Structure 1
Amino acid sequence: MIKVPLTIVGVEKLKTELQRLKSVERPAVIAAIAEARSHGDISENAEYDAAKEKQGFIEGRIAEIEGKLSNAQIIDPAALAVTAEGRVVFGATVDLEDLDAGSKVSYQIVGDDEADLKDGKISVSSPIARALIGKYAGDVAEVMAPGGIREYEVLDVKYI
């Protein structure tokens, strides 16, 4: 079994989605299937086919989330402050300066399912996160980007 690293926030989001799928989406699609069946012949019933397809998607997503939650390695970023000793690790929030562009950004390194660039959350498996892991404030990380190598200076590492 491969452990899936997740932050506490990521686990809560998955649990919320799972609850919504089970209590709202699943009953709605079951009702849609029943409605489509009531129209008679299901062999050429597009509504029935669409509802069955949606049901398959919902059941698949429920199974996927349950699997991830059962294999989750839950990491509390706040508890890392003592053990990480200023290093960039999973769950850390890193303030960076792009040395080429001079711009500053802040990213939290999270699990694949939690990654959302709009919220400043990058996947632990992304090239930038892989380049940052193990670095300290003041270190420079070289990241292989599509446009070539980019250099980022680690300004600060926080565990929030």
Structure 2
Amino acid sequence: MVEKVYPMTLEGKKNLENELEELITVKRKEIVERIKIARSFGDLSENSEYESAKDEQAFVEGRITTIETMIRFSQIIDNNNDKDKVSLGHTITFIELPDGEEEEYTIVGSAEADPFSGKISNDSPIAKALLGKSINEEVTISTPGGDMQVKITKIA
């Protein structure tokens, strides 16, 4: 069976490693303590605190497994030398046509995507349309809200 590869920047991998460390060394211990305290309340079948702690434990253990897999199968993207074409790890600035509204996104792997901080997944419609394109190239991006025309102004 071929495992999925998780493309990411070195910074993204370090962030995942830090999150994993926090989950293992801090969160796990907090949850075990919560479970211990909840057990002391008696009947577990009607103990909402116990159920809540067990649910959180399941979530944290699932997240730990997911992060471990992403780190194990990570592929570090480093293309700082090639600024001619849009690729993973690049920050792209473009203007929407015809009104000229400027937007900037960094294209990252899905493991480190965070649209609220301007990091979009390489699987997103915007990234898929921009990948492989050059500065001054006009691109049509198909989004759920409809097509938009953009012109790439900067690749960093």
1:117 — aligned with what?
Answer: 115
Q: Is the 1:99–1:152 Cα contact (8 Å) retained in structure 2?
A: yes
Inter-partner Cα distance in structure 2 for 1:77 and 1:11: 16
1:18 — aligned with what?
Answer: 20
- The Cα RMSD (Å) is 1.3
Q: Is the 2:92–2:104 Cα contact (8 Å) retained in structure 1?
A: yes
Q: Deviations over 1:25-49 (max 9, x none)?
A: 1000000111111122222211111
2:91 — aligned with what?
Answer: 93
Inter-partner Cα distance in structure 2 for 1:7 and 1:76: 7
The number of equivalent residue pairs is 154
1:34 — aligned with what?
Answer: 36
Provide structure 2 residue ranges, at least 5 long, that are not aligned to the other structure. Answer: none
Tell me by how many angstroms 1:77 deviates. Answer: 4.1
Tell me by how many angstroms 1:5 deviates. Answer: 0.4
Quick one: percent identity of the two aligned structures? 40
Relative to the length of structure 1, the TM-score reads 0.90
1:138 — aligned with what?
Answer: 136
Inter-partner Cα distance in structure 2 for 1:100 and 1:62: 46
Q: Is the 2:39–2:50 Cα contact (8 Å) retained in structure 1?
A: yes
Tell me by how many angstroms 1:117 deviates. Answer: 2.3
Provide structure 1 residue ranges, at least 5 long, that are not aligned to the other structure. Answer: none
What secondary structure is seen at the aligned counterpart in 1 of 2:94? strand
User: For structure 1, which segment, 46-55 or 109-118, has the greater mean C-alpha deviation from structure 2 after superposition?
Assistant: 109-118
Q: Deviations over 1:55-81 (max 9, x none)?
A: 111101000100111010011342xx1
Quickly say closer, same or farther: Cα 1:155–1:9, change in 2 above 3 A. Answer: same
1:65 — aligned with what?
Answer: 67
Tell me by how many angstroms 1:2 deviates. Answer: 1.5
Inter-partner Cα distance in structure 1 for 2:94 and 2:10: 24
What secondary structure is seen at the aligned counterpart in 1 of 2:45? coil
